[in-house]
A and B are shown apart, each in its own frame.
Chain A
Amino acid sequence: MTNQALLSVQNVVKTYESSAGPVQAVCGVSLELQRGAFAALVGPSGCGKTTLLNAIGGLDSVTSGRIWIDGTEITGLSDRKVIEFRLHRIGFVFQAFNLVPVLNAWENVAFVMELQGLGIKARRDRAYELLSAVGLSGKEIQRPAQLSGGQQQRVAVARALASRPSLVLADEPTANLDSKSTDKLLDIMRELNQKEGTTFLFSTHDPRVINRAEVLFPLEDGRLQA
């Protein structure tokens, strides 16, 4: 792991058991990602992008290999410690917007901060600031069902950044968006990446995302291509 690397993945293997026998979804992947990067794991469906992203985020265990984020080896942490680590250091944006349906926009953004124990004023100020940054001023008290798909995804981005994480992992964030919403979302994420210095790692096969990424990690059949 180099001094500047925020993320270091070393020889990670992930094997699933299926009825047809073991399936190796990620085969010995190693990569490093620098702090402040705007990067993407790219490749066709089924190449292992999401599996690798889930492993990096500590959502799924690895069969072998090691992953460091910001100097912490997350592959060695207990389930409880991983949850705590995710809460403070990693933000997620999922393909489906995955907001809490019973919370309004600002409460969704503040959700992670509330889990962290921040006071209501700090939460509200940060949530309103982020919603403004993603172009949703005036929509703060609307519930997810009252927002469009693109707006929901922007709330999800704001939520991912709310706790000022070191790394934001975005799994196919534009898959359910039209091109106009995709461009706007990517503009916002890029701006936040530059303004807040947050590192972004996408998993995608969307050319619009690929074109905007600074660093690409092409995957094929679970292997990183040169």
Chain B
Amino acid sequence: MNRPKLFARQSELGLAVRLAFRNLGRNRRRSLITGAAISFALFFAIILRSLQLGVYGHMVSTVVGSMSGYVQVSDTAYWPSQNLDYSLYEDQQWLEKLRQDPEVASAYPRIQGIGLLSVVDRSGVAQWIGISPEEAQSSLWQTRLASGSWESGPGSVWLGKRLAEQLQVEPGDSLVAIGQGFQGSVAGASWILAGTLHLGNPELEKRSAILKLEDAQDFSGAYGMWSYVQVTPQRRDINQDPSAELGARHPLDGAHFLSWQTRMPELIQTIEADTTGGRVILFILYVVIGFGLLGTMIMLANERRREFAMQLAMGMRRGLLAGTVFIEVLLLSLAGAATGILAGRIAVLILERYPLRLWGDVAAAIEQQGWEAILPPSLDWSISFTHAGIIVLITLAAAAWPLRTVFKTSPVHR
């Protein structure tokens, strides 16, 4: 069947684009208001979603990324008890191979347990974590130093800032630690405070004591043992779980690879519940904007009905006329989307530099849940483009009305 093309000739496309572009300027106020509505909706959506995803990323990177790890390789019996007795034997060869995997950003062995710290008549429960020298040298730990230094001799400890405040100790002070050691032994040591740490998570700052791996093994009596190997994959998307793939490529006897999603289901549930709320808000925003755009399109169609009739009478094909209207709406939506993306991106960059900080009861509640009460945005470009795509599609859907008018209009002048 010989069907007419939308633009039968190149000159028709040129005509359609020229008419569409000039039509945008014939009612500048309406074009500006419509473009502004699209921009505002997109701006708001980008800010909202960037903050939401940014907060999730912040939660995951502080609670998961820096402390327990995105992926943990541990003895199959280690979780959920996290008992020191279910530790792994050191395997440097296996560790080196794991580190050479292109999907692995870093892999650090750790040993950890619970102990009681005391200074004079003050004491506090701490989770002690022995980290390898390589991990201590990583930029992550270097930037976390609130006071003191990483350069120190054996028997040094670095405390979370709040724990140090609670114990009223400063770098150079001594602490006594006792706890349960490997296979029922009693662990005990005297440490020198080498520094305090800002961990970005109040709960972690209240209970973390960081040691060198060898000091921790010595303290607990778990010589040549690791509690787990903390693996940071290259891809750290919330929705990705590379543990199975890594486990298949780097098997270790008696051990398994566990993702943070498996170890911390409550964190996933929190994110999912919050995501749903955010989506509802965005849906309402899009519905409101969608009806606003539909109103504009109905006005546009009614205003032009007579002009459409004239153009059809002149011999303009309906397909070409519809194409002209479509291009006009597309140009309008793209212009609105471009300004929305630009404004949203600028705002996101400002919020990244100066993150919103919550205060009062809300901040206290959030800190109680274990993360710092700030709202850092996500810088992921896909947020901007996804929502720009949605809003352009909504605008084009609203354009169905004037397109319908084109196909319904009779060329008869009445």
Residues of A participating in the B interface, judged by any CB pair closer than 8 Å: 50, 54, 57, 59-60, 80, 83-84, 86-88, 92, 94-96, 98, 100-103, 111-112, 114-119, 159, 171
Q: Which residue of A lies closest to B15 (CB)?
A: A114
Checking B25, B316, B318 against A115 with a beta-carbon cut-off of 8 angstroms, the contacting residue is: B316
B316 partner residues in chain A, CB cutoff 8 A: 83, 87, 115
* Inter-subunit contact A114/B19 (CB<8 Å): no
Question: What is the CB-to-nearest-CB distance from A31 to chain B, in angstroms, rounded to a whole number?
Answer: 20
A101 partner residues in chain B, CB cutoff 8 A: 26, 307
* Inter-subunit contact A59/B410 (CB<8 Å): yes
B9 partner residues in chain A, CB cutoff 8 A: 117
Question: In the complex where A80-B4, A115-B12, A117-B9 touch, is A57 in contact with B314 (Cβ < 8 A)?
Answer: no
Size band of the interface chain B makes with A: 20 to 34
Q: Judge whether B248 is part of the interface by a CB distance below 8 angstroms.
A: no
* Inter-subunit contact A57/B313 (CB<8 Å): yes
B315 partner residues in chain A, CB cutoff 8 A: 83-84, 86-88, 112, 115-116
Given A60-B410, A87-B316, 6 extra CB contacts under 8 A: A59-B413, A86-B314, A87-B315, A92-B313, A117-B8, A119-B11
A86 partner residues in chain B, CB cutoff 8 A: 313-315
Q: How far is the CA of A137 from the CA of B410 in the complex (A)?
A: 34
> Which residues in chain B, 8-61, are within 8 Å of chain A measured between CB atoms?
8-9, 11-12, 15, 19, 22-23, 25-26
* Inter-subunit contact A103/B412 (CB<8 Å): no
Q: How far is the CA of A100 from the CA of B309 in the complex (A)?
A: 11
* Inter-subunit contact B412/A60 (CB<8 Å): yes
Q: How far is the CA of A80 from the CA of B320 in the complex (A)?
A: 12
Question: In the complex where A83-B317, A87-B314, A117-B9 touch, is A95 in contact with B22 (Cβ < 8 A)?
Answer: no
9 pairs across A/B with beta carbons < 8 Å? A83-B316, A83-B318, A86-B314, A86-B315, A92-B314, A96-B306, A100-B19, A102-B23, A117-B9
Question: In the complex where A54-B412, A59-B412, A83-B317 touch, is A117 in contact with B25 (Cβ < 8 A)?
Answer: no
Question: What is the CB-to-nearest-CB distance from B319 to chain A, in angstroms, rounded to a whole number?
Answer: 9
Question: What is the CB-to-nearest-CB distance from B22 to chain A, in angstroms, rounded to a whole number?
Answer: 4
Checking A88, A103, A112 against B22 with a beta-carbon cut-off of 8 angstroms, the contacting residue is: A103
Q: How far is the CA of A166 from the CA of B15 in the complex (A)?
A: 25
* Inter-subunit contact A59/B23 (CB<8 Å): no
| In the A-B complex, the 3 residue pairs with the closest CB atoms | A87-B315, A102-B22, A98-B310
Q: How far is the CA of A100 from the CA of B15 in the complex (A)?
A: 12
Q: How far is the CA of A195 from the CA of B101 in the complex (A)?
A: 86
* Inter-subunit contact A95/B11 (CB<8 Å): no
Question: In the complex where A60-B410, A102-B26 touch, is A94 in contact with B310 (Cβ < 8 A)?
Answer: yes
Q: How far is the CA of A96 from the CA of B306 in the complex (A)?
A: 10
Question: What is the CB-to-nearest-CB distance from A19 to chain B, in angstroms, rounded to a whole number?
Answer: 16
Question: In the complex where A100-B307, A171-B413 touch, is A115 in contact with B15 (Cβ < 8 A)?
Answer: yes
Q: Which residue of A lies closest to B9 (CB)?
A: A117
Q: Which residue of A lies closest to B307 (CB)?
A: A100
> Which residues in chain B, 259-301, are within 8 Å of chain A measured between CB atoms?
none
Question: In the complex where A102-B22, A102-B25, A115-B315 touch, is A59 in contact with B307 (Cβ < 8 A)?
Answer: no
Q: Judge whether B312 is part of the interface by a CB distance below 8 angstroms.
A: yes
Q: How far is the CA of A33 from the CA of B314 in the complex (A)?
A: 22
* Inter-subunit contact A59/B411 (CB<8 Å): yes
Question: What is the CB-to-nearest-CB distance from B292 to chain A, in angstroms, rounded to a whole number?
Answer: 24
Q: Judge whether B302 is part of the interface by a CB distance below 8 angstroms.
A: no
Question: What is the CB-to-nearest-CB distance from A89 to chain B, in angstroms, rounded to a whole number?
Answer: 9
Most buried by A among B8, B12, B310, B311: B310
Question: What is the CB-to-nearest-CB distance from A145 to chain B, in angstroms, rounded to a whole number?
Answer: 10
